[in-house]
């Protein structure tokens, strides 16, 4: 034990210095009268002056202290608990899984205690496909409804933004929120003209709190890289900061909603709430009230006569068009942000509309990435290893490119199974053996090398897969739709609506031909796969018949 402490002392001194610096920064950010940060400089004056600053400093120090404590305990747990195991032994893998779970549970407690941005960060980590499964499982509970703020605090934010009382702005305003998330909550209201609206209100002093929390996260990420040189996760904090900074500006969210509405203008089954700009600011967003229920509420879907499989199909189509054709992607498609609204009149085969909410987190994909990602999906479907290796290198996956088919399609590069049928037992065992030897350093290296656009589509794909599985959809359906839109996106002359009118008849004709060719090749592959299964089954039965016949013959011979 003494030897271990001696080995740890230099690093512990560094961590202690970092932790102290974090606490000082956290206090200074809120205690100084003129903070040197651009975001905080735009904040309105806090009530009660110095008293509010002292309270904010106390809260900042408390939140940072919890984070530092969690970081320290988790670091020691990883270092000490795994130190005496052979990193290739079964005992090591079991111990590592247990440490992952303990670390994830501590992070969950931290997020629940600090709320706000920590919950958002926990959701971000929990939705990533390349972190250990223990973290995904434990942190998934953070997707549930958050605890709302009291009405008087929300009232102050609204009245502070518009300089009027709520009674002067709205004819009616429900004090009980209809939804609450990590950064804001939504209330139902009625305008003076009688129109029903939804009012999204940011929690008080959130932007100032963001300055404290993000600096704590930056500091701790540097400490992690210092203690564990293979673990380079500072880029996660950078991406998280960029994403949350955009989400804190509700005017930008309104612009995202309007752009998405334009992108789907020709799709009457996709609904985006209209923004009421005269009652929208950086911290308050007023929009058309959209009726419906959560997309994963299968009981209400069936009660309304809506087929969950059709809902899953429309959902995948909408997001596939976003990724492969528009290059403008909703980055947070969890069930609370997607509603289903039954239609009074059925048009075509669909008797419902898909309502997209919460447009705060979007990413506009680079045009080169969009084109390469379309090509990658075509190669994934056809298991074209040469094309996949080239694109994997272009997209930053490096030698990890061989795992891209598993991530997106659920089958390895050399798979003999049909599309959407998953892996055979031997393939699954082989993959399990390879993955169990991955270290967090491998995960860090893989994810750090990927373009940030790639991380966005990875996260979106994971969230959509979770929803479609709850709706009972097959993996094959999701894969075929993505393949279709990848071909459409690849044939486009420019990003946008993949329809004939905006892309030209030549591009449209080429896309139809390429997709038909792709489907034909897939069907031929499936047919050969089924013939292989049938041949194997017949061969097995024939062997069984021969063995039984030979057995009977030998028994007869033995009697005679």
- Catalytically active residues, by annotation: 332
Q: Which two tokens stand for residue 181?
A: 């998330």
What fold, for 150-203+252-289? Phosphorylase Kinase; domain 1 (3.30.200)
Q: What is the pLDDT of residues 368-423, one digit of tens each?
A: 999 999 999 988 887 888 898 899 889 888 888 888 888 888 777 776 666 666 66
Helix (H) or strand (E) segment spanning residue 453? helix 452-470
pLDDT at 402: 83
pLDDT at 23 over 80: no
Contacts with 224 (C-beta within 8 Å, 6 or more apart), sequence order: 71, 75, 231, 233
From residue 234, alpha-carbon distances to 97, 240, 393, 511, 548 in Å are 23, 10, 23, 41, 65
Contacts with 203 (C-beta within 8 Å, 6 or more apart), sequence order: 116, 149, 153, 157, 183, 184, 185
d(CA 35, CA 79): 38
Contacts with 87 (C-beta within 8 Å, 6 or more apart), sequence order: none
**Hunting for tokens 């309502």 — which residue is that?**
355
pLDDT at 76 over 60: yes
Q: Where are the domains of the chain?
A: 55-146+210-245, 150-203+252-289, 290-494, 513-559
Burial degree of 276 (CB within 10 A; 0-12, 13-18, 19+): middle
Cα dihedral sign, 63-363-405-409: positive
Rounded to 5 degrees, φ, ψ at 203 are: -65, 150
Q: What is the pLDDT of residues 303-339, one digit of tens each?
A: 999 999 999 999 999 999 999 999 999 998 988 899 9
pLDDT at 515: 67
Q: Are 11 and 223 in contact (CB under 8 A)?
A: no
Q: What is the pLDDT of residues 536-556, one digit of tens each?
A: 667 777 777 767 776 676 666
d(CA 316, CA 322): 10
pLDDT at 1: 43
From residue 137, alpha-carbon distances to 122, 167, 308 in Å are 11, 44, 25
CA angle 189/190/192 to nearest 5° reads: 140
pLDDT at 525 over 80: no
Q: What is the pLDDT of residues 448-460, one digit of tens each?
A: 778 889 988 988 9
Q: What average pLDDT does range 221-229 have in this prediction?
A: 76
pLDDT at 511 over 80: no
CA angle 319/320/322 to nearest 5° reads: 60
Whether the full predicted model's pTM is greater than 0.85, yes or no, is no
Confidence band (pLDDT; 50, 70, 90) for 34?
very low
d(CA 258, CA 385): 40
């Amino acid at each position: 034990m003494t030897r271990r402490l001696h080995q740890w002392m230099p690093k512990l001194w560094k961590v202690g210095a970092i932790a102290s610096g974090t606490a000082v920064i956290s206090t200074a950010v809120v205690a100084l009268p003129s903070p040197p940060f651009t975001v905080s400089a735009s904040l309105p004056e806090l009530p009660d002056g110095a008293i509010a600053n002292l309270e904010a400093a106390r809260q900042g120090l408390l939140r940072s202290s919890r984070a530092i404590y969690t970081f320290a305990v988790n670091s020691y747990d990883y270092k000490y608990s795994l130190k005496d195991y052979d990193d290739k032994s079964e005992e090591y893998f079991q111990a590592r899984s247990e440490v992952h779970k303990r670390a994830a549970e501590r992070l969950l407690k931290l997020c629940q205690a600090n709320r706000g941005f920590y919950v958002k960060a926990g959701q971000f980590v929990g939705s990533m496909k390349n972190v250990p499964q223990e973290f995904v499982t434990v942190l998934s509970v953070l997707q549930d409804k958050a605890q709302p703020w009291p009405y008087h605090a929300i009232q102050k934010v609204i009245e502070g933004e518009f300089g009027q009382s709520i009674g002067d702005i709205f004819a009616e305003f429900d004090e009980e929120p209809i939804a609450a998330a990590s950064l804001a909550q939504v209330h139902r209201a009625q305008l003076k003209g009688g129109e029903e609206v939804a009012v999204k209100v940011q929690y008080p002093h959130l932007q100032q709190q963001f300055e404290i929390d993000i600096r704590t996260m930056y500091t701790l990420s540097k400490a992690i890289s210092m203690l564990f040189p293979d673990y380079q996760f500072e880029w996660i904090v950078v991406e998280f900061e960029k994403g949350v900074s955009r989400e804190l500006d509700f005017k930008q969210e309104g612009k995202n909603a309007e752009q998405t509405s334009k992108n789907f203008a020709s799709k009457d089954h996709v609904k985006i709430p209209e923004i009421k700009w005269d009652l929208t600011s950086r911290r308050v967003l007023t929009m058309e009230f959209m009726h419906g229920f959560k997309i994963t509420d299968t009981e209400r879907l069936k009660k309304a006569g809506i087929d969950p499989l059709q809902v899953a199909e429309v959902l995948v189509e909408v997001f596939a068009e976003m990724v492969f054709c528009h290059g403008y992607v909703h980055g947070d498609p969890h069930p609370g942000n997607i509603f289903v609204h039954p239609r009074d009149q059925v048009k075509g085969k669909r008797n419902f509309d898909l309502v997209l909410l919460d447009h705060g987190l979007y990413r506009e994909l680079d045009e080169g990435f969009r084109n390469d990602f379309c090509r990658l999906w075509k190669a994934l479907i056809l298991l074209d290893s040469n094309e996949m290796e080239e694109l994997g290198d272009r997209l930053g996956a490096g030698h990890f490119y061989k795992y891209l088919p598993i991530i997106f399609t659920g089958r390895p590069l050399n798979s003999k199974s049909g599309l959407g049928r998953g892996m055979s037992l031997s393939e699954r065992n082989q993959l399990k053996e390879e993955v169990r030897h991955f270290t967090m350093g491998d995960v860090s290296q893989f994810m750090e090398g990927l373009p940030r656009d790639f991380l966005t589509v990875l996260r979106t794909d994971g969230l959509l897969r979770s929803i479609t599985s709850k709706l009972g959809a097959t993996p094959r359906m999701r894969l075929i739709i993505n393949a279709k839109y990848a071909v459409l996106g690849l044939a486009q002359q420019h990003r946008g609506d993949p329809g004939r009118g905006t892309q030209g008849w030549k591009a449209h004709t080429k896309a139809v031909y390429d997709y038909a060719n792709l489907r034909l090749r897939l069907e031929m592959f499936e047919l050969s796969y089924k013939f292989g299964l049938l041949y194997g089954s017949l061969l097995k039965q024939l062997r069984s018949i021969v063995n039984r016949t030979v057995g009977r013959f030998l028994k007869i011979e033995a009697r005679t």
